[in-house]
Amino acid sequence: MKLLNFLFLNKIFAQEIFSSKKALEELSNFESQLIESLLIQIEEKLGQYETLRDNIENVKNLKSKSSIDHPIEQYKIIRRFLTFWTSLQSEIEESLDFQQFEPYPNRDDLVGAAEGIFRIQDVYALDSFDLAEGMELGVKDKEPSDLTVEETLSIGKIAYWKSDHYHSALWLVAAWQQNQIEENDGDLAVQILDHLAISIAELGDLLQALEITAVLMQMRPEEARYQRNYNYYLEELGLDQESTPSMKRGMNFSAKHLPRPEAHYESMREYERLCREFSPPHKPNLKCFYWTGPSPLSFLQWAPVKTEELHDDPLIVQFYEVVSNEEEKAIQLLAGEHLNRATIQDPATGELVNADYRIQKTAWLTEHEKLDVNGTIAKYNRKLTQITGLDADFAELVQVGNYGVAGQYEPHWDHQSYPGAENRWDPAEGSRIATWLAYMSEPNMGGGTVFIQAGIQARPVRNSAVFWYNLLPSGESDDNTQHAACPVLSGTKWVSNKWFHERGQEFRRKCALDENTRNTYL
């Protein structure tokens, strides 16, 4: 249309118009065509922008009702950038200014968010359908984030393509239930059942896989692959080719009976049990008291610290109100530009590597940070020395951690002399004699610290810190200090760690005469 109008206009302009009535009539007719053409194009553009505006307004409305503290919302926002916003950008980038964000989310972020959902689902025994339909999870001021059928299906597909057929089956069944209730979309139903049949079969339920495939054959009789799969399941089940599945379950497909994969480490089930116990039982002999410091000359004699014994052997205590809100904000600000994915030391090589069982970003802060104009880190270190009695000069830098989607750190020891450890710390520094773990924010739900052998959970109370010794007074490993960070169900979790080393603490940490003496005193 644009080319024809241009050619016609050139033809008119190539001749004198004012000297011919015919030429003027042609110009008038062209103007009428031009008006109609432009109006049609504008109407089309207006219709497109009206649709775009409605779609964007819908996202805006959904965001106003939900909270980024919620793990489902965290998954949805990453997915929107990979689907909705990417598609929208290609449509409007020539006519509207589409702002850029760096780093832009990628496929790995989406997979990581989905795996985070799988973690909280396993650890806290949550149902896929309930999560998809919307669970509060401690988010009080917003509506529970829920999922569309397509979004639920996308989570199932992520598990499917990673050969995680257990979670794939759970989420595909949830998508199937949603579709039955809400949309009854035939195309989505085929996608769901197509993947579900394979995952169910991989988990050993060939009979249900046969029944699902029978439904697929009815929905898509032209698809030869379904007939081949059907025949395969019949053969594996030892049934005749003319057999017809009973379909007693009807369309009520299920994955709840399917076996969960075996624990990939020894204390996994105990770790999950402790994380689920939001109010773990306490021993009657434990006490709360005001800690006045390790010395009668301590500053804490005039400003004692609220202290709770969480366990007696090994001794694990929680100090309350030991970090101010102002300190927390300052430390978080200093850490912000240094945050990187947390690493662990590979026991085989000694190198620092990423690990799926530690999901957080960390930063190491010195007392000489350029932005630390108020000497926050130096003051913080002095406070730790006053409370613990240990010398912060013979310790690692302050480590600040921020946990991501369902952030966790599976069971581990902080020192390198635990059972089976191959790498030990430099003899000049010694191993980590003690750990200080401060909570610099308080998640809505989850995010506690559990001690496996002690069987307790330290609650992530803001402004508090948990303290324990990793080594016995004799210097040997206290094997009962294995601990873990439970996944954050919702909200924000900031922590700071300080690991004190053996060397330099000889005159500060009381030595026991008996090498078997336990850590029962600060």
Tens digit of pLDDT per residue, the chain (522 long)? 454 454 445 554 455 665 666 777 787 787 788 888 888 888 888 888 888 889 889 999 988 999 999 999 999 999 999 998 888 887 776 667 777 777 888 999 999 999 999 999 999 999 999 999 999 998 988 888 999 999 999 999 999 999 999 999 999 999 999 999 987 889 999 999 999 999 999 999 999 999 999 999 999 999 999 999 999 999 999 988 777 777 777 789 999 999 898 888 889 999 999 999 876 666 788 999 999 988 888 888 899 999 999 999 999 999 999 999 999 999 999 998 888 876 655 544 556 556 665 578 899 999 999 889 999 999 999 999 999 999 999 999 999 999 887 888 899 999 987 766 665 667 788 889 999 999 999 999 999 999 999 999 999 999 999 999 999 998 888 999 999 999 999 999 999 999 999 999 988 887 777 878 888 777
pLDDT at 433: 94
**CATH fold group of domain 62-237:** 1.25.40
pLDDT at 357: 55
Tell whether pTM > 0.75: yes
Q: How many CA atoms lie within 13 A of 345 on its CB side?
A: 12
Is the torsion defined by CA of 282, 402, 350, 433 positive or negative? negative
CB 389 within 8 A of CB 294: yes
d(CA 252, CA 471): 55
2-5-6-11 Cα dihedral, nearest 10 degrees: 160
**CATH fold group of domain 281-501:** Jelly Rolls (2.60.120)
d(CA 326, CA 185): 53
- Angstrom distances, CA of residue 417 to CA of 253, 263, 455, 470, 477: 50, 24, 21, 9, 6
Q: How many CA atoms lie within 13 A of 270 on its CB side?
A: 14
d(CA 456, CA 281): 8
d(CA 411, CA 347): 15
- Residue 188 has phi, psi (to 5 degrees) of -65, -40
pLDDT at 50: 87
d(CA 439, CA 422): 31
Query: Counting Cβ atoms within 10 Å, is residue 513 exposed (0-12), middle (13-18) or buried (19+)?
Result: exposed
| Tokens 């900031």, located at residue | 494
Which residue type does 209 have? A
d(CA 445, CA 460): 9
